[in-house]
Amino acid sequence: MTGKFKLSIPAGASKVLLHSCCAPCSTAIVDYLTEQGIETMIFYFNPNTFPLGEYEVRKAENIRLAQFLGVTFVDGGYDHNGWLRETRDLKNEPEGGKRCLLCFKIRLAETARFAHENGFSVFTTTLASSRWKNLEQIKDAGRYAAGLFPGLIFWEQNWRKHGLTERRKELTVQHNFYNQQYCGCEYSLRDANNWREKHGKPLI
């Protein structure tokens, strides 16, 4: 990293719990946090991911990233059936709609619980690094999750700025991290394949 900007963690915290959706989205964020001396733990909680094989590949890549950057990785568990039950009424929502907001809330609420129980006062998420995600939805979900526990703060950092997007691309290519072709759930896979079929592209 070039160190062009200085991160300022809320409330002067010296460590942060980072909810990670995948290795590529985490690369530049973890790299920069550790470069600035911020103790970082990766919390991998993504019960939305389908199928199980896809989940395992993404988790393995996250572990490889954590090992490469020398940070702790925590597996938050995988209850896809529970996630389906909570989101079933929104299965026909378009990508970026109400289902996505609920999904963010589910994942960040569990992140907040882990943070609260393990001595973190601040948490954030790599979801805010993706150009495909709605930042306002992520902020809403983060605030909701933080509000579940006293004294907990959601760090509303926009992880797309200050050269982090470019650094993400560099590290992903450099370490050949698996770069998924859809968000994660069967509904996003369905919508991605519908788009590919419509445009004459190979299905995922």
The CATH number covering residue 169 comes to 3.40.50.620
2 domain-assigned: no
64 domain-assigned: yes
168 domain-assigned: yes
Structural domain containing residue 190: 14-198
pLDDT at residue 1 in the model: 45
pLDDT at residue 131 in the model: 83
With 0-12 / 13-18 / 19 or more C-beta atoms within 10 angstroms meaning exposed / middle / buried, residue 107 is buried
Cβ 18 vs Cβ 48: under 8 Å: no
Q: What is the mean pLDDT of the chain?
A: 94
Number of independent structural domains in the chain: 1
Element holding 190 (H helix, E strand): helix 186-198
pLDDT at residue 8 in the model: 82
Element holding 18 (H helix, E strand): strand 15-19
192 domain-assigned: yes
21 domain-assigned: yes
Q: What is the sign of the dihedral through the CA atoms of 117, 118, 122 and 125?
A: negative
Q: With the CA atoms of 183, 179, 125 and 104 taken in that order, what torsion angle do they form, in degrees rounded to the nearest 10? A: 10
Q: What does the radius of gyration of the chain's CA atoms come to, in whole angstroms?
A: 16
103 domain-assigned: yes
Q: How far apart are the first and last CA of the chain?
A: 34
The one-digit pLDDT tens for each residue of the chain (204 residues) are: 445 567 789 988 999 999 999 999 999 999 999 998 999 999 999 999 999 999 999 999 999 999 999 999 999 999 999 999 999 999 999 999 999 999 999 999 999 999 999 999 999 999 999 888 999 999 999 999 999 999 999 999 989 888 888 998 999 999 999 999 899 999 999 999 999 999 999 999
102 domain-assigned: yes
Ramachandran region, residue 70 (left: φ > 0; alpha: ψ -120 to 50; beta: rest): left
| CB half-sphere exposure, 159, CA atoms < 13 A | 29
| CA pair distance 184, 203, nearest whole angstrom | 15
With 0-12 / 13-18 / 19 or more C-beta atoms within 10 angstroms meaning exposed / middle / buried, residue 111 is buried
Cβ 94 vs Cβ 191: under 8 Å: yes
pLDDT at residue 2 in the model: 45
5 domain-assigned: no
- Which of these, 13, 41, 72, 31, lies nearest to 177 by C-alpha position? 31
pLDDT at residue 7 in the model: 79
